[in-house]
Structure 1
Amino acid sequence: MTEKTRSPWNVGRFFETLTYFDAIPFIGCLKRLFADRASEEKATQQGKKIVGTILVVGATGGVGKRVVRRLLEKNYQVRALVRDAKRARELLGDKVELFEADLTIPETLTSKLADRISAVICCSGVRVQPLEGDTPTREKYYQGIKFYLPEVVDSPELVDYQGIKNLVEVVKKSLRSGEKILFDFTNPSADLKETWGAVDDVVMGGVSESNIRLVGGKAIFSGNVSTANNGGFASVRTRNFNPPLDLSDYQGIELRIQGDGKRYKFIIRAEDKWDGIGYSYSFDTLYNCWTTIRIPFTDLIPVFRAKTVSNAGAFEASKVYSMQLMLSKFEYDGALNPNFSPGLFSLEIESIKAYGGQAKPQFIMVSSAGVTRPGRPGLNLEEEPPAVRLNDRLGGILTWKLRGEEAVRQSGINYIIVRPCALTEKPGNKVLVFDQGDNMKGQVSREAIAELCIQALQIPEACNKTFEVREEEAVANSIDWKSLFANLKPD
């Protein structure tokens, strides 16, 4: 297995490796100093993007456009389902991926709509406009909000019920509970090329050589591993994540790979040192066969240069600095890899995920307060909001919203259903009040509802709950979102 001959050592590759990973700080600083600043700023911005796309439905509406703006401000990747892409581009700008389709036409909702999404925020609804002939003299007021007697442009049944059912059918195949996509090579972004680099045995005098390429919806880690010069490993590694990833809510790492029958290692680091302790897991591959490898954090072995470190302690998943894939002739503590042979190799990767996390909302539906009130025995319509009083005249708009809610609850997706009271254009800085039972009346800002939707994405306590929300007059210095959601009863 060991090649006896000496081979020329490539000192140039040695320094390229160290400078790429900033292992020589002075040289790394010079490299960054003279790099093209525009390209570096672009890579930095892309590197901070949160992996996994949020699909926003109803993105050009009053709440939807605010949701999009806030998602972009928080560095989420956003896809907007829109009816008119040209108009949407003018409203939403160039940073949003647009998908032109119609909820009421299932044929337009192709699988690409749900590709790589991690959650849906649905703010869709029928369009309304004043009745022809309405004049300011026919203005009505409810809780200080001016409105006109409207007419419905769309069919509530088609949009608020059948459209939601159509949407759920498409997205539920892509939304898997308890997972976090870390690297999605099936549709790679430009920052992936700036994240991974080769770390071969050239760093210790060897001549093995590898690289990672993005080809045809996958990453290919390949090269030629040699045991000459006492070498025998090739690997690709990420630059340090800044800030480090917090995976403490998850149980392990999942790799979707296709191999060549060799045994590889996955190495993850909980410190930012270049040559520090790594936590390793060996896995075998099947030739030309896609497999899913799950790596529990509890099974990781602490190592330093392929030697186990008995006093290193358990892996700390709250600060993940880097990840690495390696082919090596050694296992641990001098033992040989039983499925190793020098020469050409190839490992294909579709994705790297964290698995086993707490369930978080994946389908956030903005519905409406009052959906259960039409037809409720003993209801005094004169005391109800306009939408309740006008439900029949508006084609049963609240009735069909309720049916749409039921479609979401029955989907099997982790959801929350938000029922805002009368929506306003106010700043959204007031104290929020949540309640259940559909008796709430009042007002709430569209800005506040947009922020609520985004906060709910990261709060497990919000899962599978339906609630009404309004604002109080008092200004909120801060909002304890977790407590608000925790005090609600699950459906």
Structure 2
Amino acid sequence: MTDKNRSQWDLCRFLETLTYFEVFPVFNWVQKLIQGRPKENQTIPKGGRIMGVTLVAGATGGVGKRVVQRLAAQGNKVRCLVRDIDKARSILGNDVDLVVGDITKPETLTALVMANVSSIICCTSVRVQPVEGDTPDRAKYNQGVKFYQPEIVGDTPETVEYQGVKNLVTAAAKFLPPSGEKFIFDFTQPSEELKNIWGALDDVVMGGVSASNFQLIENAALFAGNVSTANSGGFASVRTKNFSPPIDLSGYTGVKLRVKGDGQRYKIFLRAESKWDGVGYSCSFDTVANSWIDITIPFADLIPVFRAKVVKDCPPIDPSEICSLQLMLSKFEYDGALNPKFSPGGFALQVESIKAYSQESLPQFVLISSAGVTRPGRPGINLAEEPPAVRLNDQLGGILTWKLKGEDSLRESGIPYTIIRPCALTEEAGGKELIVEQGDNIRGKISREDVAELCVKAIEEPKACNKTFEVKAGENNAKSIDWQQLFSQLQADK
């Protein structure tokens, strides 16, 4: 007897799916052999590169370049605000997104510069160079190495440390997204990476004939196609290639989707392992026909699923290791239950964005200031015991005074922030234990490497929000740092 619900299975599309997602590397090797070497500008999409941009100001400086390196190594999308493209390329390389701008010129901080920026790390500072005329006691602050009298070169402390920071803060207040949210995918900003990272994964992999695709349309992505129950099938989906490296969403509560659907119930899957056929953490969501709505899905509501069956005794998802995302329309819910809003045939789901969200505010602006900013002119201060920057504040154009005013402009803006006041910066290797205090009393030194690491950790940690603190290196190497505990010991600014 012939099964009336049987349709011809598309073997070619099955193989294309496995090849696209690199399920069997030999398929990809054969494909590359046939097609020849890929073009030089083709790259493997990285999940973090689709996420909201972190703008680094002062990216070519001693701390700034290290911040850029760390963000990029973690898969974050980084944009460097620079004055001189050629100079920046020689320092940062060719794989970094550079944009010309100058914080001392507010007209250069345009919508293009700030596009899709979700956080800012400001490492700018005036240039200080030594000239002859050393003071003898400065040597003790540089481990006995002779130091010369410092002198400001180029821009003044007022224009950079205060007015420039204020300009950047003003631009940030205009363009930053709501606090506690970070783009994973922003489909209003089309790019080649967005086109290349999503692919169809339909029931052809199990003999079905459903077919879907994922297109970038005006200000959104469109997941659309036809779902058929023929051949015991009944689902269509689109999935990302594995993110490399995985996306770290450990500072967030869940994901938020902005969608316009057709009234059917869809699913989202997040995976915390790179296996092709592993456990996916899923949640179903309903749409309203022809209406834009926000869908909020806490990580705690995700159900561990393997081939539409709930996996019992499975640990909760690890949000620090998100390897891929998937959207699906299926006739099934879980464990054989049917989707109550499923209808075979054509479907369409528009997606404007997928974000990570936090119930707590996250710092969106990290400012590197300096220890000692409140000490010039403070009653009872013995200048002979102070670091050079404090003792020479007046000779350096009031550099610490203007840094403090720059801090104040950030505090008054309403932007969630972290203000880091490092002690004397060195070129020593990082990895030391960190000593943090408040009240602007500590003295010491700290590696630029450790300050850069601190900046990167701060933008992902709610406990760092709206806090100002001083930091120096301890004597011992740090085996590991509990960043949440480090920030928790600090009092929020009032």
Q: Which interval holds the TM-score relative to the shorter structure?
A: 0.7 to 0.9
Deviations 1:202-250 (A, max 9, x none): 3344332111123445322122334455544322123455676565654
Which residue number corresponds to residue 135 of structure 2?
140
Which residue number corresponds to residue 416 of structure 1?
418
Tell me the CA shift for residue 273 of structure 1: 6.2
The equivalences for 1:9-48 within 5 A come to: 9-21=9-21, 43-44=43-44, 46=46
Cα distance in 2, alignment partners of residues 241 and 329 from structure 1: 28
Cα distance in 2, alignment partners of residues 271 and 364 from structure 1: 31
Deviations 1:297-327 (A, max 9, x none): 4444566655x64956685345655432123
The equivalences for 1:98-247 within 5 A come to: 98-129=98-129, 136=132, 138-141=133-136, 142=138, 143-145=140-142, 146-151=147-152, 153-172=154-173, 173-187=175-189, 190-229=192-231, 231-240=233-242, 247=249
Length-normalised TM-score, structure 2: 0.82
Cα distance in 2, alignment partners of residues 102 and 270 from structure 1: 40
Which residue number corresponds to residue 476 of structure 1?
477
Task: Describe the shift of the 1:407–1:261 C-alpha distance in structure 2 as closer, same or farther (beyond 3 A).
Answer: same
Which residue number corresponds to residue 436 of structure 1?
438
2:57 pairs with 1:62 = no
Which residue number corresponds to residue 342 of structure 1?
345
Do the aligned residues in 1 keep the contact of 2:251 with 2:462 (CA within 8 Å)? no
Deviations 1:410-452 (A, max 9, x none): 3333322222233333344655433322223333333332233
Of residues 292, 295, 298 in structure 2, which corresponds to 1:296?
298
**Letter of the aligned partner of 1:105 in structure 2?**
K
Which residue number corresponds to residue 389 of structure 1?
391
Cα distance in 2, alignment partners of residues 170 and 375 from structure 1: 32
Deviations 1:165-219 (A, max 9, x none): 2212222442544444333333356554454321223334433211112344532
Tell me the CA shift for residue 122 of structure 1: 0.8
Cα distance in 2, alignment partners of residues 458 and 34 from structure 1: 44
**Letter of the aligned partner of 1:65 in structure 2?**
K
Do the aligned residues in 2 keep the contact of 1:421 with 1:443 (CA within 8 Å)? yes
The equivalences for 1:399-410 within 5 A come to: 399-410=401-412
Cα distance in 1, alignment partners of residues 190 and 379 from structure 2: 55
Which residue number corresponds to residue 371 of structure 2?
369
Cα distance in 2, alignment partners of residues 270 and 386 from structure 1: 50
Ranges in structure 1 where 5+ consecutive residues have no aligned partner? none
| Count of equivalent residues | 481
Cα distance in 1, alignment partners of residues 303 and 452 from structure 2: 44
**Letter of the aligned partner of 2:94 in structure 1?**
D
Tell me the CA shift for residue 57 of structure 1: 0.9
Do the aligned residues in 1 keep the contact of 2:243 with 2:324 (CA within 8 Å)? yes
The equivalences for 1:240-259 within 5 A come to: 240=242, 247=249, 250-259=252-261
Deviates more, 1:157-166 or 1:454-463: 454-463
Length-normalised TM-score, structure 1: 0.82
**Letter of the aligned partner of 1:347 in structure 2?**
L
Deviates more, 1:23-32 or 1:93-102: 23-32
Deviates more, 1:283-292 or 1:86-95: 283-292
Deviates more, 1:109-118 or 1:478-487: 478-487
Deviations 1:364-413 (A, max 9, x none): 21111221112212333343333333333443322221111112223333
Ranges in structure 2 where 5+ consecutive residues have no aligned partner? none
Cα distance in 2, alignment partners of residues 430 and 268 from structure 1: 36
Do the aligned residues in 2 keep the contact of 1:46 with 1:190 (CA within 8 Å)? no
Do the aligned residues in 2 keep the contact of 1:129 with 1:153 (CA within 8 Å)? no
Do the aligned residues in 1 keep the contact of 2:21 with 2:241 (CA within 8 Å)? yes
Deviates more, 1:212-221 or 1:329-338: 329-338
Tell me the CA shift for residue 251 of structure 1: 3.2
**Letter of the aligned partner of 1:340 in structure 2?**
S
CA RMSD for the aligned pairs?
3.7
**Letter of the aligned partner of 1:156 in structure 2?**
P
Cα distance in 2, alignment partners of residues 297 and 433 from structure 1: 33
